[in-house]
Structure 1
Amino acid sequence: MKKMLLILALSVFGFANAQKGTILVGGNIGYNSQNVDYGVVDIKTNSFEFSPKVGYQLHDNWTVGGEFGLESSKQNNGGSESKFNSFKAGAFVRYTVPLTETFSVFADLGAGFHNQKVKNYDDEGDLLSTTKADGLYAGVTPALFINMKKGFGLNFSIGGLGYETLSFDNNGPDVKSFYFNFGKTINIGVSKNF
């Protein structure tokens, strides 16, 4: 009975209010820390990721904008150390379908440029090597939006579909990767329409 009342209440509220002409601001922040003890060597990895988005709502269903991403990680291998930094900048198009006033589903199509830099240090902190790479990325990410109050909400996604290229400096390899990771990742983000 409670489920029926909830469904009826959601039906009465109808679809989400049109947000044409508003600015969308959102993004994700992530932190990961891992410690693996191999007995002889203890490997510690810490990583941080920040990926904001800013867009303009052209229509009730369509949003276009820019997306950025910064990622930094450090791995300590029992004395030696590796530092990884990555930057992404691109554009996205979002198509949103409101289900109720509270719930909407959307898909983001994003594409742009990305680069990464890896520095390796020895036990005494001296720089051993630096590796740089530049490339392109494109991806589709479906997600669920939960409107908490007045355009402020949470975004939930469980993976996506994408393609990336990286070309390493100094006659390094050219890497092309395709991923399909539905159900393997979970992302939670925050967004606000102004």
Structure 2
Amino acid sequence: MKKTLIIAALAFFGMANAQKGTILVGGNVYYNTGKNSVGPNENKSNYFEFAPMVGYQFTDKWTAGIVGGIASQKNENTSNLNPASNTEQKQNDFKIGAFGRYTIPLGETFAAFAQLEAGYQGRKDEDTSFNGFFSTTTTSKASGFFVGITPALFINMNKGFGLNFGIGGIGYETLNYDNNGGDFSQFNISFGQSFNIGISKNF
């Protein structure tokens, strides 16, 4: 049975009091680790993600800026029948793009906003096999683009600090691998399937 432990999950979505002429700075940090045993095989996984963002609030409702992100994933598979033999998969991702946000105040305490993001992304995969004597590594690279829209609710707590609640969104992404390695595309609707809570502050 797979057991996954979420060590940290923080999301910063800057909006604060929706004040014209303020600077938005934020990002999210997420770490996940898991262990899964099936028969004689044991699999360990680790995932880390950091996605910063910075923007400028042009009006009380419109904000625009830059988003980025890096992510690293590692999976190790070991056989208890032959501990010297194992496989390892590493995946490193990065993103850079722009975002636009439209905010609708619902009073002094609440506000709703929708954020549209789009940009370039890249990926590097490394697959390594070790038989106890020799190791073989295969590397592949890919690039593509991403676009997505995410609605959320903001609650102003005190002096511009607040909480943000998101319940998923709509996204589309592509990755094209080098050396005829194949293409990847994905359309995702995650309303009600994911949930995050964050804090925010405008400067």
Q: Answer yes or no: same fold by TM over 0.5.
A: yes
Identity %: 55
Answer 1 or 2: which has greater strand percent. 2
**Distance in 2 of aligned mates of 1:27 and 1:18:** 18
Distance 1:69 1:146 in 2: 25
The reply on whether 1:107 has 2:114 as its aligned counterpart is yes
Taking the aligned partners of 1:191 and 1:122, their CA distance within structure 2 comes to 44
Aligned partner of 2:179 in structure 1 is 170
Deviation, 1:18, is 4.8
Mapped to 1, the partners of 2:64 and 2:180 lie a distance apart of 37
Shift of 1:17: 4.8
The 3-state SS of whatever aligns with 1:193 is: coil
- In 2, are the aligned partners of 1:146 and 1:153 still within 8 Å (CA)? yes
Which position in structure 1 is the counterpart of 2:40?
A: 40
Cα distance in structure 2, aligned partners of 1:18 and 1:155: 13
Equivalent pair of 1:28/1:188 in contact (CA under 8 Å): no
Show structure 1 runs of 5+ residues with no match: 1-15
Residue equivalent to 2:97: 90
User: Is the CA contact (8 Å cut-off) linking 2:63 and 2:102 kept in structure 1?
Assistant: yes
Query: Deviations along 1:149-184, whole A, 9 cap, x unmatched?
Result: 222223221111011111001101122211111111
Contact 1:136 1:164 survives alignment (8 Å): yes
Amino acid in structure 1 at the alignment position of 2:123 = Q
Q: 1-side partners of 2:198 and 2:121: how far apart?
A: 21
1:25 aligns with 2:25: yes
Match of 1:13 in 2: none
Deviation, 1:82, is 0.9
**Aligned-pair CA distance for 1:127:** 4.4
Contact 1:27/1:189 (8 A) holds in 2: no
